[in-house]
A and B are shown apart, each in its own frame.
Chain A
Amino acid sequence: MSQLAIWRSGSARVLPGFGLSMGISVLFISLVLLLPITGLFGQLAGLSFAEYWAIITEGRVVASYMVTIGAAAVAALVNAVFGLLLAWVLVRYEFPGKRLLDALMDLPFALPTAVAGITLATLYAGSGWMGSLLEPLGFQVAYTWVGIALAMAFTSIPFVVRTVQPVLEDLPAEVDEAAMSLGATDGVAFRRVIMPHLWPALVTGTGLAFVRSLGEFGAIIFIAGNMPYETEITALMIFVKLQEYDYAGASAIASVVLFVSLALLLAINIWQGRFVRRLHGGKG
């Protein structure tokens, strides 16, 4: 209480509501976000380290890490290119349908993942609109890891577009005018002048897309086929353990997923913070 008083006097605070808003926020974050995580640790405390290690390094589980990470990496890289293209087209050009295209970018965030899941599975199955075109050519998407990567790419594309777009918008016209007037070709000017401004945002957006893909569940399970060792993602592994009432096993695998995603989130935040500071330092 005395510490609160010191913080308050420190900044000559006029506005009311510090206690109330602090109370609501701390209570909510503790009860809703932090307390449930203790349940996970409680469950894990019942396992010896050897048991824990055996669960998280079991062959089928390791195979699921490989499938998840591999497909998420492919999806993130595809989205880096596709997202950069979309952001560029939306910022730099005027064309009919631009507003619709812009609105369409948010569809994967607005559309429930289960809806995306059954739709992609139906489209790319052998009898679907896309599947019936692709399968005679020898490309099978549904029930393979390509389908998993496709579903991941679909749900995470807005991360790249919406992170790169504002940075590109803030880039003054003089930047590329200067490059062009000095005789650089489009390709060289883009690589040497535009990209250095964009890549921090591009890395952040791609990183967020990757984290999202690692945890995605609803959009993937319908198209994945869910064959153990082949097309089984880690989130589904957790789900399967739960259905077998193997709470310890589910918790052990979940702790790996939780640790990796929180570590990546922290890394992205630090990366972003460093980049923002460097930019401001450079200006001053």
Chain B
Amino acid sequence: MRRIGDAPAVRRLLIGTALFLSALFLLLPLVAIFAQAFSQGVMVFWANVSNTFTLHAIGLTLVIALLTIPVCLVFGVALAWLVTRFSFPGRRILQTLIDIPFAVSPVVAGLIYLLLYGRNGWIGGWLDAYDIQLMFAWPGILMVTIFVTCPFVARELIPLMQAQGSREEEAAVTLGAGGWTTFWRVTLPNIRWALLYGIILTNARAVGEFGAVSVVAGAIRGKTNTLPLHLEQLYQDYNAVGAFASAALLALIALLTLAAKAGLEWRASRREAYL
């Protein structure tokens, strides 16, 4: 039976248009990043990547991501367990609240942290008396990064755990397994791939966050520069090749993220075919 849009001419026109526009607006920028980064050869690229400031920015970015992931992981798993395994008043409100970071502009996210924890804020002022400074230093970067990335793990887990239901866990508990044993032996094997994808998304956003971080970081070269802030500084200094060298590193992480997603989806579709 013929379906809508099956006529060869329509089909070719639509596929052609989609491919052309995607190549122009999505693929071309991706190619341009690497073309710019390597425009003066591999040696210049290498020099740009291996200089002290870039290496420091890479290091800080990795530390921030490594500290962000476990926090988001614990929160994501706890929230997903809570809203999919129990019913209680306020459940829907909790689920709506975790979407706040997606709706709030990154600059506003940075600002609200600066207002509270900056020297003039009511917590920041109190900490300042003890000589603790969170803003314009790495703890501030970590705090806003946690804010912008915290929904990802929960968002991946909730639909899956809702669909799977709690029968397997209830069976384990009824048979005498403890709470943690049930979690490690029954729940975790069922959710591990979604959990992994949640971590990959958290990581991608954590290494790439710009707006919120640029408000609280103070951008001190070799001190509070993450990789996105570093590339901005280079770009503003008219060092485009240097900026694109850092950009290429971040684009590589983005590509790995896309590959991981495609891989996990392929795995899931194969498992569905078996069932």
Contact = CB atoms under 8 A, between A and B. Distances in A.
Given A17-B81, A36-B113, A103-B262, A89 B15 contact: yes
A189 B4 contact: yes
Nearest to B11: A93
Interface residues of B, number: 100
A70 interface: no
A112 interface: yes
Size class of A's contact patch?
35 or more
B2 A217 contact: no
Interface in A86-103: 86, 88-89, 92-93, 95, 97, 99, 101-103
Contacts of B17: 85
A201 to B, nearest CB: 16
B5 A186 contact: yes
A99 B262 CA distance: 8
Given A261-B103, A262-B103, A7 B26 contact: no
A177 B257 CA distance: 38
Contacts of A235: 105-108, 211
Contact of B103 (A28, A97, A217, A264): A264
A247 interface: yes
Given A11-B86, A36-B112, A106-B258, A111 B251 contact: yes
Contact of A33 (B4, B28, B81, B101): B101
Interface in A233-259: 235-236, 238-239, 242, 247, 250-251, 254, 257-258
A118 B243 CA distance: 8
Interface in A50-102: 82, 85-86, 88-89, 92-93, 95, 97, 99, 101-102
A75 B5 CA distance: 26
Nearest to B80: A21
A123 B113 CA distance: 34
Interface in A125-184: 128-130, 153-154, 157, 173, 176-177, 179-181
Contacts of B78: 20-21, 24-25, 28
A279 interface: no
Contact of A15 (B3, B29, B85): B85
Given A28-B75, A39-B122, A261-B105, A180 B208 contact: no
Contacts of A28: 75, 78-79, 150
A107 B258 contact: yes
A179 B75 CA distance: 48
A113 B208 contact: yes
Nearest to B100: A33
Those 6 A-B pairs whose CB atoms lie nearest each other, nearest first: A112-B208, A215-B105, A39-B116, A218-B210, A16-B179, A217-B211
Interface of A: 7, 11, 13-18, 20-22, 24-25, 28-29, 32-40, 42-43, 82, 85-86, 88-89, 92-93, 95, 97, 99, 101-120, 122-123, 128-130, 153-154, 157, 173, 176-177, 179-181, 186, 189-190, 193-194, 211-212, 214-218, 222, 235-236, 238-239, 242, 247, 250-251, 254, 257-258, 261-262, 264-266, 269
Given A36-B112, A85-B18, A217-B105, 9 more contacts: A21-B78, A22-B82, A32-B147, A102-B262, A103-B258, A118-B232, A118-B247, A264-B103, A266-B96
